[in-house]
Structure 1
Amino acid sequence: MANKANKVDIIIIGAGIAGISSSYYIQKNFPHLKYKIIEARNDLGGTWDQMTFPGVRSDTDMYTYGYSFNPWPGSIIGMGKEIKQYQVDTAEKFNIKENILFNTHVKSLSWKNKTWITKTSKETFHSQYVVCCTGSRDYREPNFPKFKDEDKFKGEIVHTQTWGKTRFKGKDVALIGSGCTAVTMTPAIVKEAKSVTLVQRSPAWIVNVDGSEKSNRLYKTFETLIDYAYSRVFKKHYKKKVLSQYSNYYSHDNIPSYDYWNQRPACSLDNDYFESIKSNKVTVEHSGISNWEKNGLKLLNGKSIKCDLAIMATGLNAQLLGGIDILVNDKKVNLNKTSWYRGMMFSGIPNLFAHTGYINFSWTARCEIVSERICKTIKYMQKNSYTNCVPKYKGEKSKPAIEANYVLRSIDKFPNRSYKFDNANYLNEYIQFKMSKINDGVLNFQ
């Protein structure tokens, strides 16, 4: 297809949770503006379209993960297929789906002459604004640790992010990882697998969720924030409380080395993980991997683990703006040299908005307040006849707010901490985003 230029007002990149949220608020506030959603996959849903491994589900409650403008109708924890269908239903209900261009990859974003030029694999778009709803992970390259002698292994190795049609029935399975994915996957495979060995280099904090719990966004908001604050102020007491609550699981050899909430805790639903590891088919090994062998893995503790299938539940690689090349007046932008403005814009980049999440709260809740703030910013610009706005540099080198490995691995790709970006307190940001003025002295308007 010939690469032709199309004029729209707003380009939205990504048709997942953030893309649907942005589209809803843009339609609501600017019914006269034309927007287009660019989606690389052949369907909407983002993470919930890609992730198909057994047991995939939300790792946070759906009362805060669901949209406020279309509340989640199901249980407190949503399964992957249910969340995907919920997004499809939401997009159709608000006539969003008709604005999505599927199977289209964004090649580059270039700001020239007060216009964004979005080059895709199909067309080129000119717009005044771009909203990046690409999530915070690399969808193409997950974290896939390599160990020596991999070529000697005669079985299959698969990462949960690229699960495809992998079969585990009747196989000896090694599940490598101790985070949310491993915790949700274990109960889903233990019944049909011949055996399951959980290889956990380091243990993680795991809590149970009662699947019959009924709640709402307001209550869960306060409950989560109070819990987080308590864990920060009374770290030792909180640790003892969790260890006591789950004394049948935690013992001297599997206590996490980090404080609770330094990383997001994993969730067992109705004790499914805790029950699954009691099976005589399940073994847990707290050791790193030394190398591959013909019929399995050799651990650092000297043990050999027999397996036909090795599942890498080893997490993601963090990535901002989808790894897309960003150019401002022909100069490529290095995000590590910028600062975040309220966690939604980057210094030196005009009229480009983006979504990122909290370390202790649901992705959707922040997507919504950022979407509303984007709309307030555009309204302010229209009222004052401004064509562009760009944040000033306000960052300083700082430690990440969460010690998750996917953050630490990619810290050199992230902006410096920015002006008024509180990624651990939804309530504080909600009030700030609602009450603070748009022209706060940090944005330059022209």
Structure 2
Amino acid sequence: METNAASAETVEVRRASEVEHFDVLIVGAGISGIGGAYHLSTQCPGKRFLVLEAQDDFGGTWHTHRYPGIRSDSDLYTFGYRFKPWTGAPIATAAEIRKYMGEVIEENDLARHIRYGHRISAASWSGEDRRWTIEATRAADGAQVRFSASFLWMCQGYYRHDAGYVPQWPGMERFGGRIVHPQAWPEDLALEGKRVVVIGSGATAATLLPAIAGACAHVTMLQRSPTYFMTGRNANELADTLRELEIPEEWIHEIVRRKILKDQAKLARRAFEEPEALARELIAGVRAHLPADFDVERHFTPRYQPWRQRIAFVPDGDLFRAVREGKASVVTDEIEAFTEAGIRLKSGATLEADVVVAATGFDLSVLGDISVTIDGRPLDFGDTVTWHGTMFTGVPNMAWVFGYFRASWTLRADLISDFVCRLLRHMDERHATRVTPTLRPAEAGMPLKPWFDLDNFNPGYVLRGAHLMPRQGDRLPWRHTQDYWTDRGDLPAADLNDGSLAFD
């Protein structure tokens, strides 16, 4: 027995020291990574690929976030993949989204390509070897493992999964209750009979509040300033009608998807062309769900124009119903300090609390906080210029999925998947082993702008992390528009031979 154990241990040590090579290595098994794996398997069936995931299962955001009521704030006809019909309610729970993703994995035999519990710490490019070397820690045994890949596809998302963003308010250490962040919801947190304060006014707070309103003594949403909300039934009448007509689900998915995208484009256009009228309509929709004497002007009338931050969808008005029924309250004020029993506000008022939930957002994560080197030189991502918001100057054989703020993330993930597969096929046709975005001589003095248009979209996490991100130019292909209706024409038509991509 001792001999067999020693032999098995030797084999495991040898495996840990081996460097497995793949044509493509995908970082992350969330919505982008699973979609990328599907597209690779169908559009580039000859490629050998691997998906590395730090967590113990697939799902990304939908696996990380486990707070009560967790649900999408995008409709699943556009947040779902274009290749797999969505058949449920437009706004879905995390469990329903993970079930859908699990079906994609099972139906397309993707599980054999995924390795969970592998946290990547470093990725280094060797120009001599024409490959990436990826170093990771395997959670099962703590072993340091290495992989190599000809192409690195970053699908790890855009925020830190390990911990959310919590401002440091004075007196937090004195508070006698519990302070939690939705991103790390404690399994042992009991809310029965507790007074809960949820700090924040975005989609997370709007989801959490109605979910716990009936389970605790009372819940208060404490916000510094209001957010725009859109209300409506958690149903799609067009989809329901088409199902009554027994239209195939594949057709329903595509028809409804196109209708929603057209409506979203109209909404985005109105946000810039007639923002005051749109604001009035959104606020009127909220007012219709609240008592006549509720102070909508103070608590649900934002200081900014629509779409400068994301508009959160409230299905069936459940947030406002909780307020109307007296199970929840809204307070618009600023925190002066925590006390032993709650929160003292700058107005002088005090909110007593047993539990405080800091629904205060997250921190941007640049390339998954992985240490990246190019031929031994550390990569400063902020010094690069983006190519169509997907690849970056001086960074060979790498693509990054960064989705949309005003449309479903998956729309861009699908577009980038098509592009990466097209690029890989093009490289094979040219017998190229390296591709690097490179500014052409005429673009050497091109004016550069931030990755985000901060006048256009400026939530807290963007303002805190903008300096870490790449820059963009003032012309194609160096722009990052954050606009699906532009990208869906520009990215598929991008000329791979115009000299902006250097092939070797």
Indicate whether 1:182 and 2:205 are aligned: yes
CA distance in 1, matches of 2:49, 2:447: 31
Larger CA deviation: 187-196 vs 25-34: 25-34
- What is the identity, as a one-letter code, of the residue corresponding to 2:96? E
1:409 aligns with one of 464, 467, 487: 464
SS in structure 2 opposite 1:196? strand
CA distance in 2, matches of 1:117, 1:424: 31
Question: Contact 1:357–1:423 (CA<8 Å) still a contact in 2?
Answer: no
Shift of 1:72: 1.5
CA distance in 2, matches of 1:336, 1:288: 33
Question: Contact 1:39–1:105 (CA<8 Å) still a contact in 2?
Answer: yes
- What is the identity, as a one-letter code, of the residue corresponding to 1:173? V
2:432 aligns with one of 376, 386, 390: 386
- What is the identity, as a one-letter code, of the residue corresponding to 1:440? D
- What is the identity, as a one-letter code, of the residue corresponding to 2:315? L
Please list, as runs of the form range in 1=range in 2, the aligned pairs for 1:427-438 lying within 5 A after superposition. Answer: 427-438=485-496
Residue in 2 aligned with 1:396? 448
Higher helix share: 2
Residue in 1 aligned with 2:19? 5
Residue in 1 aligned with 2:62? 48
SS in structure 2 opposite 1:390? strand
Question: Contact 1:153–1:296 (CA<8 Å) still a contact in 2?
Answer: yes
SS in structure 2 opposite 1:246? helix
Q: TM-score, normalised by structure 2?
A: 0.86
1:285 aligns with one of 328, 331, 338: 331
Please list, as runs of the form range in 1=range in 2, the aligned pairs for 1:229-268 lying within 5 A after superposition. Answer: 229-248=269-288, 251-254=296-299, 255-268=301-314
Question: Contact 1:106–1:118 (CA<8 Å) still a contact in 2?
Answer: yes
Deviation string 1:237-292 (CA, Å, 9 cap, x unpaired) is 22223233333457331310111000011111111111111232322110111111
SS in structure 2 opposite 1:277? helix
Indicate whether 1:221 and 2:261 are aligned: yes
Shift of 1:156: 0.5
SS in structure 2 opposite 1:360? coil
CA distance in 2, matches of 1:47, 1:75: 19
Question: Contact 1:57–1:184 (CA<8 Å) still a contact in 2?
Answer: yes
Matched residue count: 446
Deviation string 1:161-186 (CA, Å, 9 cap, x unpaired) is 00131222221101100000001111
Question: Contact 2:27–2:154 (CA<8 Å) still a contact in 1?
Answer: yes
SS in structure 2 opposite 1:105? strand
CA distance in 2, matches of 1:413, 1:133: 18
SS in structure 1 opposite 2:298? coil
Indicate whether 1:370 and 2:386 are aligned: no
Q: Indicate the structure (1 or 2) with the bigger Cα radius of gyration.
A: 2
Indicate whether 1:97 and 2:85 are aligned: no
- What is the identity, as a one-letter code, of the residue corresponding to 2:397? N
Question: Contact 1:109–1:117 (CA<8 Å) still a contact in 2?
Answer: yes
Deviation string 1:290-309 (CA, Å, 9 cap, x unpaired) is 11111111111111111111
Question: Contact 1:376–1:438 (CA<8 Å) still a contact in 2?
Answer: no
- What is the identity, as a one-letter code, of the residue corresponding to 1:60? S
Deviation string 1:121-180 (CA, Å, 9 cap, x unpaired) is 142111110000010111113111111111111101100000131222221101100000
1:119 aligns with one of 113, 117, 135: 135
> C-alpha root-mean-square deviation of aligned residues, in Å?
1.5
Question: Contact 1:117–1:124 (CA<8 Å) still a contact in 2?
Answer: yes
Indicate whether 1:148 and 2:162 are aligned: no
Shift of 1:405: 1.1
1:63 aligns with one of 77, 80, 88: 77
SS in structure 1 opposite 2:132? strand
Q: TM-score, normalised by structure 1?
A: 0.97
Percent of aligned pairs sharing the same letter: 28
Any stretches of 5+ residues in structure 1 without a counterpart? none
